[in-house]
């Protein structure tokens, strides 16, 4: 029989000892084959002769390692992600969701996003919008609904006090209501916001002209022309103010400028004709009125002015034909009615003349035209 020794203190032990009397540790274990008590230092069981296998610490460590991921490795992986300076791209993940359920949720998310966008768009569309009010104001202005147009322009300005187009639009609507000073105030607002706003300068000039402030009006038109030399209306309007000041030749120069820019500028042709008639150049004047009428057959002022030029040439019947044209286009054209009456007087047609005068006064005529 083999001698055996304590695995703790190394001293020799008797075969029947189960505990070392020196260090007090167990010195036997069961044989895996016959179950008898054996010394752990024996290489074979003395009862059945089977070999005794000793599991080492290294083998135990290997088995632990192979069964699970080392704690240190787990910690290192975690800290790498935690301390990263940039987002780590995510790869495919194991999920309990099936591909179809994942796709469905993606679609639901997409629909939700679209829904939010639509709601935001609707919300913005329901918010007061200065452009919307301005456009509505212009539509009403073009329908001659001036008071309603002004209300819309005011709505736009309530949202955006610096909305220069709205100030100009309001000024133009007020001008159409013959509220010239109020119109000028609006034009001044527009000019204060944008000193180069030519439409406001032009509108202010026209309003000043209606208040008989011709020199101030010319200053406004000159401002327009300085900013935009090709602004045909400003040239025409300046010419009209020069006419009012009795500067007919200078006026004609302005009308010619407007016509050079816009050959179809009916107002410039008509105004040039007026200057030429005042200068007793009747044939040239009639040629200008005919040009305006050719461009716009419904130009009542051109028909009336042609009639006046024919009257000055003692062509009374032809003159009456022109006044009748103007009245047919605008039955409320008081000046044409009065001029027609004056022409009937020249023909000694007193009753017809009186009817025309009465009609003119009924429409508000207060002075002599021809």
Using a 10 angstrom Cβ sphere, with 0-12 exposed, 13-18 middle and 19 or more buried, the burial of residue 352 is middle
Q: Using one digit for the tens of pLDDT, what is the confidence trace for 136-149?
A: 999 999 999 999 99
CA geometry: angle 145, 150, 154, nearest 5 deg = 150
Residue-wise pLDDT for 236-278, tens only, equals 999 999 999 999 999 999 999 999 999 999 999 999 999 999 9
Q: Which of 66, 95, 114 is the last residue of a domain?
A: 66
Let me know: does 269 contact 261? Beta carbons within 8 Å. Answer: no
Spans of the chain, pLDDT less than 50: 53-102, 120, 122-124, 126
Q: Identify the CATH number of the domain in which residue 223 sits.
A: 1.25.40.10
Is 235 among the domain residues? no
pLDDT of residue 55: 39
Q: Is 159 left (phi over 0), alpha (psi -120 to 50) or beta?
A: alpha
120: in domain: no
Distance CA 176, CA 134 (A): 17
Tell me, yes or no, whether 183 lies in a domain. yes
Q: Note whether residue 39 is domain-resident.
A: yes
Domain count for the chain: 2
Residue 11 located in a structural domain = yes
Residue 94: the pLDDT is 30
User: Residues 6 or more apart from 118 whose CB is under 8 A from it?
Assistant: none
Which residue, of 66, 101, 120, is where some domain finishes?
66
pLDDT, position 109 = 56
The answer to whether residue 37 sits within a structural domain is yes
Residue 37: predicted pLDDT: 58
pTM given for the model? 0.65
At 80 the pLDDT is 29
Calpha distance 245→256 (Å, rounded): 18
CB 251 within 8 A of CB 267: no
Element (H, E) at 56: none
Residue 52 is assigned to a structural domain of this protein: yes
Residues 6 or more apart whose Cβ sits within 8 Å of residue 95: 102
Structure tokens at 51: 């070999």
Q: Is residue 221 part of a domain?
A: yes
pLDDT attached to residue 366: 84
- For 42, the domain range is 1-66
d(CA 245, CA 229): 23
Q: Which of 202, 228, 254 is the last residue of a domain?
A: 228
Q: Coil, strand, or helix at residue 230?
A: coil
CA–CA dist 354, 361 (Å, integer): 11
Alpha-carbon distance of 208 to 218, in angstroms, equals: 9
In SS3 terms, 200-256 reads as HHHHHHHHHHHCCCHHHHHHHHHHHHHHCCCCHHHHHHHHHHHHHCCCHHHHHHHHH
């Amino acid at each position: 029989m083999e001698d055996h020794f304590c695995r703790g203190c190394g001293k020799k032990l008797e075969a029947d000892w189960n505990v070392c009397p020196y260090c007090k540790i167990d010195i036997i274990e069961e044989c895996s084959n016959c179950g008898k008590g054996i010394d752990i230092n024996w290489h074979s069981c003395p009862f059945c002769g089977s070999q005794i296998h000793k599991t080492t610490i290294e083998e135990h460590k290997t088995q632990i390692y192979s069964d699970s991921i080392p704690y240190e490795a787990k910690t290192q992986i975690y800290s790498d992600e935690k301390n990263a300076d940039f987002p780590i791209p995510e790869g495919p993940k194991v999920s309990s969701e099936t591909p179809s359920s994942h796709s469905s949720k993606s679609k639901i998310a997409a629909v939700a996003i679209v829904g939010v966008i639509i709601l935001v768009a609707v919300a913005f569309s329901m918010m007061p919008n200065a452009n919307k009010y301005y456009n509505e104001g212009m539509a009403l202005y073009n329908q001659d609904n001036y008071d309603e147009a002004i209300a819309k322009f005011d709505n736009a300005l309530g949202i955006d006090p610096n909305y220069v187009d709205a100030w100009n639009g309001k000024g133009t609507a007020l001008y159409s209501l013959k509220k010239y000073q109020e119109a000028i105030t609006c034009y001044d607002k527009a000019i204060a916001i944008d000193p180069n706003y030519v439409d406001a300068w032009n509108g202010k000039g026209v309003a000043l002209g209606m208040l008989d402030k011709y020199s101030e009006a010319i200053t406004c038109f000159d401002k327009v022309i300085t900013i935009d030399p090709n602004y045909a209306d400003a040239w025409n309007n300046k010419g009209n103010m020069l006419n009012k000041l009795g500067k007919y030749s200078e006026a004609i120069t302005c009308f010619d400028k407007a016509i050079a820019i816009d050959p179809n500028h009916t107002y410039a042709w008509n105004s040039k004709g007026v200057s030429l008639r005042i200068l007793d150049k009747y044939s040239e004047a009639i040629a200008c009125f005919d040009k305006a009428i050719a461009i716009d057959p419904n130009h009542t002022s051109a028909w009336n002015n042609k009639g006046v030029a024919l009257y000055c040439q003692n062509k009374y019947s032809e003159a009456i034909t022109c006044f009748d044209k103007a009245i047919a286009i605008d039955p409320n054209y008081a000046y044409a009615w009065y001029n027609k009456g004056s022409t009937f007087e020249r023909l000694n047609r007193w009753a017809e003349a009186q009817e025309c005068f009465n009609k003119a006064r009924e429409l508000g005529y207060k002075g002599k035209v021809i």
